[in-house]
């Protein structure tokens, strides 16, 4: 196993998914990558108090500032890439912006722009804003995605069933493994969009956005139970659905969980549904990214079979 490193330098970052973009790093299955990523806005310096700006990695903001793409030797379309999240540390500060004029914010009557700055203390597990409000932190990467096969540049904003991306699931903390389908040779993984803290939903459109240093282990899965995006966290199994329609996203997340339950316990699908109703939670992952995200969660200790 080799440990590689990526730093947030102009030639090692991207703000789009693009299958024609050459990899900035090529690794072997089983290798680890230490990734130092800027926050989603690509700020090169800490934002000043009082509403001032700071230099950015990209002059125009069309997407997240992501590390990559990273190629994995031997990855081919139809494979599944396993991303083992070994650790996630924050850069010690973060920001949240609310009031962007979106349809949701307009319905909520919350369209007066607000920016909140946070001091993040990883050791204490807290973030404190300018007014003294404190929240518990649980850092994770909002974007973990392989690259689409469709030619051209693709936005990093919406999550996608086929490649993941801007999943924004707060459960994907250190100790999690995220399984991502591969559509192009090498997989071309891009990561970033660190969040120090976030509730299910990411309801204002941003979380406590922060820079991160993460260690990721990369492997290929030869015969996955599920072909789509799914994960195993320290506490539960997760399946995902992404769609412009909330019902369709829910159907996809729950349907994948039934497939997983059926395979785990050798059960007919309807029997798996009966068990799911007793122990599977459905959560709205995020409402912020032009696409509804829903995840189905099965806690590791929720279902046991007596012998």
Write down the CATH superfamily of domain 3-221. Acetamidase/Formamidase-like domains (2.60.120.580)
Give how far Cα 109 sits from Cα of 101, 102, 130, 297, Å: 10, 10, 23, 32
In the numeric block, the tokens 């046991």 are attached to 304
Calculate the CA 152 to chain-centre distance.
22
Residues forming a β-bridge with 168: none
CB-CB contact of 95 with 119 (8 Å): no
Return the pLDDT at 102: 84
CB-CB contact of 185 with 70 (8 Å): no
Q: What is the mean pLDDT of each run of 10 residues along the chain (307 residues)?
A: 96 98 98 98 94 90 95 96 98 96 88 95 98 98 98 96 97 98 98 98 95 98 90 98 96 98 95 98 92 96 88
Fold of 230-299: Endonuclease I-creI (3.10.28)
Residues forming a β-bridge with 33: 4, 216
Residues forming a β-bridge with 283: 295
Return the pLDDT at 305: 84
In whole angstroms, what is the distance from residue 43 CA to residue 215 CA? 21
Phi and psi, residue 279, nearest 5°: -145, 0
In whole angstroms, what is the distance from residue 60 CA to residue 125 CA? 33
Give 116's DSSP letter.
Answer: E
Return the pLDDT at 87: 98
Largest pairwise CA distance in the chain:
63
In whole angstroms, what is the distance from residue 253 CA to residue 217 CA? 25
Cis peptide before 69 (omega within 30 of 0): yes
Domain boundaries, the chain: 3-221, 230-299
Q: Which tokens belong to 146?
A: 């392989």
CB-CB contact of 96 with 209 (8 Å): yes
Calculate the CA 54 to chain-centre distance.
25
In whole angstroms, what is the distance from residue 154 CA to residue 128 CA? 35
CB-CB contact of 186 with 99 (8 Å): no
List CB contacts of 302: < 8 A, sequence separation 6 or more: 236, 279, 280
Q: Which tokens belong to 193?
A: 């969009």
Cis peptide before 237 (omega within 30 of 0): no
In whole angstroms, what is the distance from residue 90 CA to residue 84 CA? 18
């Amino acid at each position: 196993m080799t440990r590689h490193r990526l730093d947030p330098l102009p030639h090692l970052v991207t703000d789009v998914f693009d299958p024609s973009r050459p990899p900035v790093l090529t690794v072997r299955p089983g290798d680890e990558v230490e990734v130092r990523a800027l926050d989603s806005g690509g700020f090169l310096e800490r934002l000043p108090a009082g509403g001032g700006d700071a230099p950015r990695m990209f002059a125009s903001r069309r997407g997240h500032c992501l590390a990559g793409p990273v190629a994995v030797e031997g990855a081919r379309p139809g494979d599944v890439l396993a991303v083992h999240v070994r650790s996630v540390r924050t850069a010690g500060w973060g920001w949240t912006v609310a009031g962007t004029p979106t349809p949701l914010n307009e319905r909520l009557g919350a369209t007066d722009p607000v920016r909140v700055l946070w001091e993040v203390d990883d050791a204490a597990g807290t973030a404190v804003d300018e007014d003294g409000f404190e929240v518990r932190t649980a850092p994770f990467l909002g974007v973990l995605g392989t690259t689409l096969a469709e030619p051209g540049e693709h936005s990093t904003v919406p999550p996608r069933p086929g490649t993941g991306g801007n999943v924004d699931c707060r459960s994907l903390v250190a100790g999690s493994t995220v399984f991502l389908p591969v559509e192009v040779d090498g997989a071309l993984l891009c990561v970033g969009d660190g969040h120090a803290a976030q509730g299910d939903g990411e309801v204002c459109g941003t979380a406590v956005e922060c820079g991160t240093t993460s260690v990721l282990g990369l492997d290929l899965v030869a015969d996955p139970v599920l072909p789509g995006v799914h994960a195993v966290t320290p506490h539960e199994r997760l399946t995902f659905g992404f769609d412009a329609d909330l019902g369709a996203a829910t159907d996809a997340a729950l349907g994948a969980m039934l497939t997983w339950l059926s395979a785990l316990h050798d059960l007919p699908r309807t029997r798996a549904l009966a068990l799911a109703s007793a122990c599977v939670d459905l959560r709205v992952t995020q409402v912020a990214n032009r696409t509804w995200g829903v995840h189905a969660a099965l806690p590791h200790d929720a279902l046991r079979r007596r012998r």
